[in-house]
Amino acid sequence: MSPLDIIRTSLYSLSSNRLRAALALLGIVLGVCSVITLMSIGRGSTDRITELIQGLGSNLLTVIPSGEPLTLADVDALNDPLYTPSIKAVAPQIGTFGTIHVSNNTTQTSITGVTPEFLQVRNLEMATGTFIGSPHVESRAEVVVLGSQVSEDLFGNQDPTNAEVRINGRQFRVVGVLASQTGFGSLDDQALIPITTAYYRLSGQRIPGGNISVDQISVQARDVESVDQAIEEIETVLRLSHRLTDADDFTVFNQQEILDTFEETNQTLVVFLGAVAGISLLVGGIGIMNIMLVSVTERTREIGIRQAMGAKRRDIVAQFVTEAVFLTFGGGIIGVIAGITLATAIDGRFLIGAEWNTRVTNDIPIIALIVSVAVGLFFGIYPAVRAARLNPIEALRYE
């Protein structure tokens, strides 16, 4: 039996029960459609989060203490262009919690002590007013920059610039409000004050030698290429100023590394989503097998006639497997179209309480089609072999 004859014969059989073929197809369509949609959502959300992390700047490094505290003296050392030519800006910070109070509104939020460099290093923009300036830091001024959410909680839609607020009982003047940001490390729900004010007025901790300890130092490398060089400079400078001989008492985090770790985790998520959708494809495959088995029983007499006309076992197997593969391949194509349509339709929309981001890459439909053909082969084999094993005499007598 030639391949063309096999195809013709299979199409003949499929066309003899269109409704059943359509129902068998449906299971595969749904399976493939959910594979495409879920995998596109997985890819899309990876993209989105990567984008958000990269928004922080891929040339951003973070230094945190892991033993001895970091101080403003370390910040000065890192700012020396002679030793750190690859560093563009250094922004130390102190974090604390506080209660902000204005007339009859109160909100609990994190209060971060910063220097003017923070604005540049963290890519921030002002909605109104100004950021904290050097004079504020030098004079330990009681001024505050509000995150957009904090501003809204306390002042609603009013411009809070120059308003007086109380932070942990102390009077502060609002100098500006940050523009709202989305995503990773958003400062919308924070208030920023000069780092010196935070240290001397709000935090209770003191270290010997009159230095100011900081919780974290953000370092902006000159550009993405100089990140590695910048890390080396930070390590050299801090080892010198801390007079270290063996283990470091600080840790440098690279934004790129965090991104890599995240992407790895998310890749696992994509695979997991794909596997979940794969199960529905499997269920569709079992549906195909079920329908093929019914079809074999129903067409026992046809099989007997074909055997009497000289069909070999492999001809019968080929006919039934090809039928199953036609069903799954057809279902696969419709499923791919439906899946791409669905994934494209929900992209960027806000549905069921979440924003959906999808990306359909070329490999997803190709994989889905290959898998659906494989499903047809796998689930078509058993019914086909059952058909081919029929005894011609008994098949011909079957009513």
Which residues contact ligand ADP by CB under 6 A? 393-394
Q: What are phi and psi of 81, to 5 degrees?
A: -65, -20
3-state secondary structure of 212: coil
Dihedral-angle region of residue 230 (phi above 0 means left; psi in -120 to 50 means alpha; beta otherwise): alpha
Shortest distance in whole angstroms from residue 330 CB to another protein: 20
Judged by CB, which is closer to another protein: 170, or 312? 312
For binding to another protein (CB under 8 A), which residues are involved? 1-2, 5, 9, 12, 15-16, 301-302, 304-315, 391-393, 396
Nearest one of 153, 132, 137, 287 to 201, comparing CA atoms:
137
Judged by CB, which is closer to another protein: 248, or 315? 315
Choose the one of ligand ADP, another protein, none that binds residue 123, judging by a C-beta under 5 to 8 angstroms depending on kind.
none
Choose the one of ligand ADP, another protein, none that binds residue 309, judging by a C-beta under 5 to 8 angstroms depending on kind.
another protein
Choose the one of another protein, ligand ADP, none that binds residue 210, judging by a C-beta under 5 to 8 angstroms depending on kind.
none
Tell me if 230 sits within 8 A of 221, measured CB to CB. yes
Shortest distance in whole angstroms from residue 394 CB to ligand ADP: 6
Residue with token string 């411009």: 159
Shortest distance in whole angstroms from residue 390 CB to ligand ADP: 13
Judged by CB, which is closer to ligand ADP: 355, or 394? 394
Judged by CB, which is closer to ligand ADP: 232, or 394? 394
Choose the one of ligand ADP, another protein, none that binds residue 2, judging by a C-beta under 5 to 8 angstroms depending on kind.
another protein
Dihedral-angle region of residue 283 (phi above 0 means left; psi in -120 to 50 means alpha; beta otherwise): alpha
Shortest distance in whole angstroms from residue 293 CB to another protein: 21
Shortest distance in whole angstroms from residue 399 CB to another protein: 10
Rounded Cα–Cα distance for residues 11 and 307 (Å):
19
For strands 105-114 and 190-194, give the pairing: parallel
Task: Tell me the helix, strand and coil percentages in the chain, rounded to 5.
Answer: 55, 20, 25
Tell me if 30 sits within 8 A of 335, measured CB to CB. yes
Shortest distance in whole angstroms from residue 373 CB to another protein: 25
Judged by CB, which is closer to ligand ADP: 262, or 398? 398
